[in-house]
Each structure stands twice: as C-alpha cells, then as structure tokens.
Amino acid sequence: MTASVRRKFTILDGMILVAAIACGFALRRAFLNSFHGVWVIQGESWLMRNARGLNWAATPFLTMLTPTVLLLRLRRPRPRQIELFRQPGLAAGCAAILPIAMSLACFIRESAGRSGELQDPLSAAGAGLHFQYVGSYRVGCWVLGSWLALFLSGRRRPERSWIDRIGRILGIGWLVVLVLDMVDPMY
C-alpha cells in the first residue's frame, strides 16, 4: 500500500502566502476606494451592515488566496492524481479557479467600457459591484457543486495536512460569502 505523500510547510510556502495576502489587501483597498467605503442602506440593521462589511472584506482575500493555495497544492511532493482530487481543499480550489477568472475578465471588460481602452480598472464602482456580488456568487455555487459531488459519490477524502486544511477553510469562506450575498438586499 502506497503511503500518502504529505508536504511539509516550508519558508517558500509562507512567503507565497504572505504575498497573496498582500495582494488581497491591495485589491480590497482598490475596491473600497472605488465604492467610497462600504455602502449602507438607510434603516437596515447593524447585523446586515456588518455582514456586508465582512463580505466585502473577505472576497478580495479569497480571490487572491484560492489560486495561490491551489498552486501550492500542486507543487511536489504531492499525492497521486486519483488521491489528490478526492481532497475537498483541492476540489474547492479547482472549482473556484474558472469562475474567478470569468469574474475578473468581466470586471476588466466592464471597467474598459465601450472604448475598449483599459481605463482605470480599479476605480470603476459598477464593475467592482458586479465582481463583488455576481462573481462571488458564481464561485460559491461552483464550490458548493464540487463538494456536493464529492459527498454524494462517497469519494471525499480530506487529508490531515496544513494545505488541505487551508483549502477547506477557503472553500468554507466562499460558501459563507455565498450566503452573505444571498441575504444582502443589495444583491
């Protein structure tokens, strides 16, 4: 029986994660600048306002960390493919990549507008809102679909390693963002 290959946490992994978090901060600042702060609907509850703030804060970090953790998982040493894609952390990362790419492409396209020239893409509030709600909703549904597929097939095999745990946390983060999008009246 082949033993499962577990990769240890290295300094390079730490550096890559720190860089991804820094990019998440930059994206969050750009979004908040384009929105001129978190929007508040008059008369809404304290809970809804803070839930929206959490949603708008979390999405940029999840966007940057998801492909980063996916790339870290694919670095050697790694398990065989058949074991690898049973891990829910990797499944969530693989499922999230395509809708993230689609949402970023929509964001850039909407920021560029009809002229086709890339104007300041990080200050277009309308494109940012589309990414914040429509994009994160898509990603949440992709992650939910991938995890349900693993669960229904009985192929879910979480690995007791730091990297799969981070992947699972990111997947749970996208599901939380999905729920927050759905309960937000601004969606």
62: left (phi over 0), alpha (psi -120 to 50) or beta: alpha
Q: Does 118 bind other proteins (CB under 8 A)?
A: no
Q: Are 65 and 97 in contact (CB under 8 A)?
A: no
CB of 140 to other proteins, least distance (A): 8
Q: Are 159 and 87 in contact (CB under 8 A)?
A: yes
Q: Does 21 bind other proteins (CB under 8 A)?
A: no
Give the x/- contact pattern for other proteins in 28-57, rule: CB under 8 A.
--------x--x-xx---------------
Q: Does 99 bind other proteins (CB under 8 A)?
A: yes
Among the listed residues 57, 85, 104, 158, the single contact to other proteins using CB under 8 A: 85
Residue number, 21 or 102, with CB nearest to other proteins: 102
CB of 94 to other proteins, least distance (A): 6
The stretch near other proteins (CB under 8 A) out of 16-24, 61-69, 70-78, 142-150 is 142-150
Q: Does 182 bind other proteins (CB under 8 A)?
A: yes
Binding site for other proteins (CB under 8 A): 36, 39, 41-42, 81-82, 85-86, 91, 94-95, 98-99, 102, 105-106, 109-110, 114, 125-126, 137-138, 141-146, 148-150, 152-155, 179, 182-183, 185-186
